[in-house]
Structure 1
Amino acid sequence: MTARPARILTVCTGNICRSPFLERALQAELDRSWGAGAVEVASAGTGALAGHGMEAQARTRLEAAGYDASGFVARHLEEGMVADADLVLTATRAHIGRVTTLHPRALRRVFAFREFAQLVAAVPVGELDAPADSAREHLVRTVRLAAAERGMVPSLPAAEADVVDPYRREPEVFDAMADQIRASLPVVVRALSRP
């Protein structure tokens, strides 16, 4: 019997800028590491513009970073999505509350994206490099190790913990969003990739 894929859910507000950028970047990087189908990355919004494609300026920056935005459609966050996810990465700390209100038992596996990067960076490398039989086994262990670092490392200031919301704002804010995600992405990809 084949192991079920590891499942990651990324969450923002409208599901047209930050969470799709994260979804597509993580999916591409983890496919490179584990092979297609081993990890499924999806996204949703707490106040989604359901049915819309990715916002044009966010899409431009995603594609400039080398990732594919084609076929993306925004959707509302639902309880079942949270329940099924092995890891939920949110754009901001405030989104954590919205996610865990839907499914309180998910609290240990819900993190603001930039804080998750800080936490996994604090995990001793040898612990992240332990052999795993599947992507899901590795991801679940990594989430447990990251959760254990909560309270052990200093909390990030809000400006460093949250990914800025660029919706209906000037191009420079879209640049800042993309830069914030790209700055934390390598650490997260390294932690979630095949040991």
Structure 2
Amino acid sequence: LLQAGLDQVMPGGFEVTSAGTRAMVGDPMQPLSGDIVRTYGGNPDGFVSRQLTSKILRGVDLVLTMTSGHRGEVLQLDASLLKRTFTIREFARMLDVLDERADSAASVPVTADGGGPLSANTAFWRGLPARAASVRHLSLPADSAENDIIDPYRRAPDIYRQMEDELAPAIVSVLRHARLNVPA
């Protein structure tokens, strides 16, 4: 879903992948999750779950997790990702602070090597985790549980709706930030 939205902002400018910390390897997306993805214009067809590994994490610019526990598991696999790993809700709140302060718009880079918008976009997003972390103190929730998104796996439909209610606003914040900061 995030990939579909980012593709609308800048086609070819982002690569979003997914892996689970306790994945049912090889399984398709759960039907109720697939319904939610379709509702927002995404396509769950062809999704196959896979287990998160250090190889998958190698070379990534940003890791967004569903829970603080997942964040901890990422860091156990690769501690060098400490400053580039956030829960998606935490990251979204930080982006909202950056957008409110208009800090990020002023820092959309133009690549020194004369690269075009795609390379400027890559440079911008590679620097974004540090900028986001710099405002973490301004985006802390009253309860740290607000960083997490409920796991609906094998639970009732109302839990899937709760997951949607927790996840959708965070995705919208990330997409809004991407849209507001598209290099010219």
Q: TM exceeds 0.5? A: yes
In the alignment, the residues of structure 2 paired with residue 150 and residue 57 of structure 1 have an alpha-carbon distance, to the nearest angstrom, of 33
In the alignment, the residues of structure 2 paired with residue 42 and residue 162 of structure 1 have an alpha-carbon distance, to the nearest angstrom, of 19
In the alignment, the residues of structure 2 paired with residue 192 and residue 86 of structure 1 have an alpha-carbon distance, to the nearest angstrom, of 15
Indicate whether 1:26 and 2:6 are aligned: no
| Structure 2 match to 1:6 | none
| Structure 2 match to 1:89 | 64
Shift of residue 88, structure 1, vs aligned partner: 0.2
Q: 1:182 aligns with which of 146, 168, 173?
A: 168
- Does the aligned pair in 1 maintain the 2:25–2:51 contact within 8 Å? yes
* Greater Cα radius of gyration, structure 1 or 2: 2
Write the deviation string for residues 150-170 of structure 1: whole angstroms up to 9, x where unpaired.
234334523421111101111
| Structure 1 match to 2:37 | 62
Shift of residue 97, structure 1, vs aligned partner: 0.7
The amino acid across from 1:27 in the alignment is: Q
Over 3 Å counting, the alpha-carbon distance change for 1:156 and 1:96 in structure 2 is farther
Is the partner of 1:111 in helix, strand or coil? strand
- Does the aligned pair in 1 maintain the 2:4–2:41 contact within 8 Å? no
CA RMSD of aligned residues (A): 1.6
- Does the aligned pair in 1 maintain the 2:152–2:160 contact within 8 Å? yes
| Structure 1 match to 2:108 | 131
Which one has the bigger strand percentage? 1
| Structure 2 match to 1:20 | none
**Higher alpha-carbon deviation: 96-105 or 60-69:** 60-69
Shift of residue 60, structure 1, vs aligned partner: 0.8
| Structure 1 match to 2:129 | 143
Shift of residue 78, structure 1, vs aligned partner: 0.7
Q: Map of 1:35-50 to 2, 5 A cutoff?
A: 35=11, 37-50=12-25
In the alignment, the residues of structure 2 paired with residue 103 and residue 72 of structure 1 have an alpha-carbon distance, to the nearest angstrom, of 25
Is the partner of 1:89 in helix, strand or coil? strand
Q: Map of 1:156-171 to 2, 5 A cutoff?
A: 156-171=142-157
Shift of residue 129, structure 1, vs aligned partner: 4.7
Write the deviation string for residues 160-191 of structure 1: whole angstroms up to 9, x where unpaired.
21111101111001011112111122211122
The amino acid across from 2:15 in the alignment is: E
5+ long unaligned stretches in structure 2: 112-118
Percent of aligned pairs with the same amino acid = 33
- TM-score normalized with structure 2 length: 0.86
- Does the aligned pair in 1 maintain the 2:62–2:85 contact within 8 Å? yes
- Does the aligned pair in 2 maintain the 1:142–1:191 contact within 8 Å? no
Write the deviation string for residues 37-80 of structure 1: whole angstroms up to 9, x where unpaired.
22110000111111010001110111112211111010010102
| Structure 1 match to 2:158 | 172
User: What is the aligned length?
Assistant: 170
